[in-house]
Amino acid sequence: MNNNSLHSVLAACCLAACRIASAQQATDHPLYLAGPQIPVEQRVDSLIDSMTLEEKASQLGNVAPAIPRLQVPRYNWWNEGLHGVARAGVATVFPQAIGMAATFDAPLLHQVGDVISTEFRAKYYQALEPDGSAQYYGLTVWSPNINIFRDPRWGRGQETYGEDPYLTARLGVAFVTGLQGDDPRYLKTVATPKHFAVHSGPESTRHTVDVHASRHDMEDTYLPAFRATVMEAKAQSVMCAYNSLNGQPACANTDLLQQHLRDDWGFQGYVVSDCGAVADVFNAHHYAAAPEQGVTAVFEAGTDLICGDYRRHMTTEPDAIVSAVRSGMLPQAVIDRALRRLFSARFRLGLFDPAASVPYSSLSAADNDTEAHRQLALRMARESIVLLKNRDHLLPLTAAPKSIAVIGPNADSLDALLGNYHGTPSRPVTVLAGIRQRFPGASVSYVEGTGLIGPAATPGQDDRKALDAARAADLVVVVLGLSANVEGEEMKVEAAGFAGGDRSSIDLPAPQQQLLQRIHALGKPTVLVLMNGSALAINWADAHVAAILDAWYPGEEGGTALAEAIAGDFSPAGRLPVTFYRSVAQLPAFDDYSMRGRTYRYFDGEALYPFGYGLSYTTFSYRNAHADRSEISASQSVTISAQVTNAGALAGDEVVQLYLSRPGVAGAPLRALRGFSRIHLERGQTQTVQFVLRDRDLDVVDAEGAHRIVAGKVEVWIGGGQPAARAGLAATAGARTRFTITSSATLPD
């Protein structure tokens, strides 16, 4: 640098310093409170420089206390929002995440994310205390859960977007961008994709297990959704998991937190631990000998915020972070780095700025649980319903029945609407209530018949009374399945087929199966409604029951949507985001994290219902499937198109799915979803659907985890599901085409 250049740089620095000093003097506030005209980075550094070591340590837990002398308010980082604002009173409750995944509708999920962030803001301003926020009323949202639902026995799979990395990535990006908003300066909320990484059961070993995942499986299955939410959606937070991965606890895992997250993906936000995961580093994984070594390991690896108790159990002993710093074990610069990331988020949320500067500050209690939000929950519930069976076109009903018997443990269950991690709906509609509302002229009887895993909860509501009600009805609606009382996070459920929130069997629980068979023997027109968070092996029902609808945990308007679907007010078009296997005998061991034999991508057996499957009340045809180029190089893109026609008698949605196959290419799955689009077609209407494929859309992951575009032929299927058929399951409508890749290339990480 020559002298003139040096003088110019020094002059510019002096001018900037003068401007900052002037701004600080003009406001009579420290620099970090001087207002949004000062760059966030400078405000954050000013604040951190003003803090003592003890004050710094206090800000590194999920409950960050106020620092009155610095005018720093208290903040609680812990907020849940998988399918609505959770655990903070009344809020709009959308279908559980697995149900929203069944819509295959990314734009709709983006709208839901935006509404959830609106309600978070409304609740934050409504409940804001003079010294800061309370738990579950903040703006840092610990969602979405984008772990891959690799095994249907996992109780928390209901929180995910299913088993496919591409679907999970696209839905994760939609939800994150909905939560965080699009303001150039301020975040509406902070989204937190979790649990990084390879966290998918069993629940009983999650605090101690060391998961071994190959480089191929990591890059091919477990990491793509995290990469997409960080690089595309710009998620500002990531939660690390309880488990160890390949020898290092996830929250002290340098390969995950440094190599992948920050070096390869350019992540600029903060990492929060799952609650108690840092204590697991020394108490459960025994990766560190004591709390001081544990906190040192996690902060140096890249974790920035600790949820749960990371301190010693005796209050008379010093804070583990303070002790680690004072002993020289943990450099203070490392915790300053963590604080810089944390306070940057709080400043970008506008928590240190005047309300007039923050575009979301006008939101209030009136913006929570609105009629428009309830209508969006209803739309999401409608789109999430999957029609699994419809023999002899029992549905939709051609005439309103005079009498309906509604039977089953989930028929009038609030729990079955909500799933886990939910808010409190102000006007929930159960299936029973929805049917009574939709069929006001019918005589509707209700009998519980059985409990989920045992006798009916209400005396006199046993199967004998259920059979009497069914015998007297023109139509029987049997509402069975699961609830968050028997599947979920680290639960104390011990019954046949269940184990601590997970399942040891994927069959319908025996009491429900027996009730269903007895009702079927009556010969009455019967509709089976399933409410569940994971796949059920309903082999007998598939063979015997005429009509089956899967509603998942459909949220506050689930009963309305189901009654409308039965009546034929709309044509169901949801698709399965997971494979429905015939039994656990088709699955590898639950604690085997290899993807061999798992999910539709690597399972070569016959599924009961395949991933992407779902029927309709109308029919669709596909023609003129076409690749715009017969040959492309590794650096080029290709556009796949097809004409889709509603050839049936009713208007309806179709979920167009694009799958690629690379026969003979090492590392390639049997087939892989690489595009989807939910469209609405009136009867007789035709629409051309296009998908542009490039880069990672075309790649195959090799044994070393490298993403490669491999020369050779690419088989393409475009249709309403996978090209799969079996006895009793008709072939899915669709069409085939192909193209050739003429050169190979390795893609960057």
Active site residue 292: no
Catalytic residue among 119, 217, 220, 274: 274
Fold of 374-602: Rossmann fold (3.40.50)
Query: Which residue in 394, 414, 672 sits closest to 553, CA to CA?
Result: 414
Residue 741: its H or E element: strand 734-741
Q: State the fold for domain 32-367.
A: TIM Barrel (3.20.20)
Dihedral in degrees, nearest 10, Cα atoms 290, 293, 299, 303: -40
Q: What is the pLDDT of residues 591-619, one digit of tens each?
A: 999 999 999 999 999 999 999 999 999 99
Residue 457 pLDDT greater than 90, yes or no: no
Inter-residue contact 741 to 712 (CB < 8 Å): yes
**32-367 and 620-746 share one CATH topology?**
no
105, 119, 412, 487: the catalytic one is 487
Report yes or no: 345 and 190 within 8 Å, Cβ to Cβ: yes
Q: Which distant-in-sequence residues (6+ apart) come within 8 Å of 365 by Cβ?
A: 122, 123, 126
Q: What is the pLDDT of residues 129-172, one digit of tens each?
A: 877 888 999 999 999 999 999 999 999 999 999 999 999 999 99
CA angle in degrees (0–180, nearest 5) for 699-160-725: 65
pLDDT at 309 over 90: no
Give the pLDDT band of residue 314 (cuts 50, 70, 90).
very low
Predicted confidence (pLDDT) per residue in 244-262, tens digit: 999 999 999 999 999 999 9
Res 129: pLDDT? 83
Average pLDDT, the chain: 94
Tell me the pLDDT band of 461, cut-offs 50, 70 and 90: confident
For range 303-312, the mean pLDDT: 80
- 214-233: average pLDDT: 98
Strands 140-141 and 190-191: parallel
- Residue 130, pLDDT score: 77
- Assign 7 a pLDDT band (cuts: 50, 70, 90): very low
* Range from 16-20, 180-184, 438-442 carrying the lowest mean pLDDT: 16-20
pLDDT given for residue 10 in this prediction: 38
The pair of structure tokens assigned to 196 is 């990084």
Please report the pLDDT score of residue 318 as a whole number: 62
**What does the pLDDT read at residue 19?**
42
> Which stretches does DSSP call E strand in 440-503?
443-447, 475-481, 494-495, 498-499, 502-503
Which helix (H) or strand (E) segment holds residue 124: the answer is helix 106-127
Question: 383, 376, 371, 299: which is closest to 338 by C-alpha?
Answer: 299
Catalytic annotation present for 274: yes
CA distance 613 to 194: 27
Q: Distance (Å, rounded) from C-alpha 249 to C-alpha 54?
A: 26
Is residue 22 predicted with pLDDT exceeding 90?
Answer: no
Question: Tokens in use for 420?
Answer: 């886990």
pLDDT at 337 (0 to 100): 98
Can you read off the two tokens belonging to residue 730?
A: 């008709």
Is the four-CA dihedral 347, 349, 352, 356 of positive or negative sign?
positive
Amino acid occupying residue 46: S
> Please, which pLDDT band fits residue 725 given cuts at 50, 70 and 90?
confident
User: Which amino acid type is present at position 530?
Assistant: L
* pTM (whole model) above 0.75: yes
For residue 525, whether the previous peptide bond is cis, meaning omega lies within 30 degrees of 0, is no
- Cβ atoms of 98 and 533 within 8 Å: the answer is yes
CATH number of 620-746: 2.60.40.10
Are 50 and 112 a contacting pair, CB within 8 Å? Answer: no
Alpha-helical (H) ranges within 579-641 are: 599-602
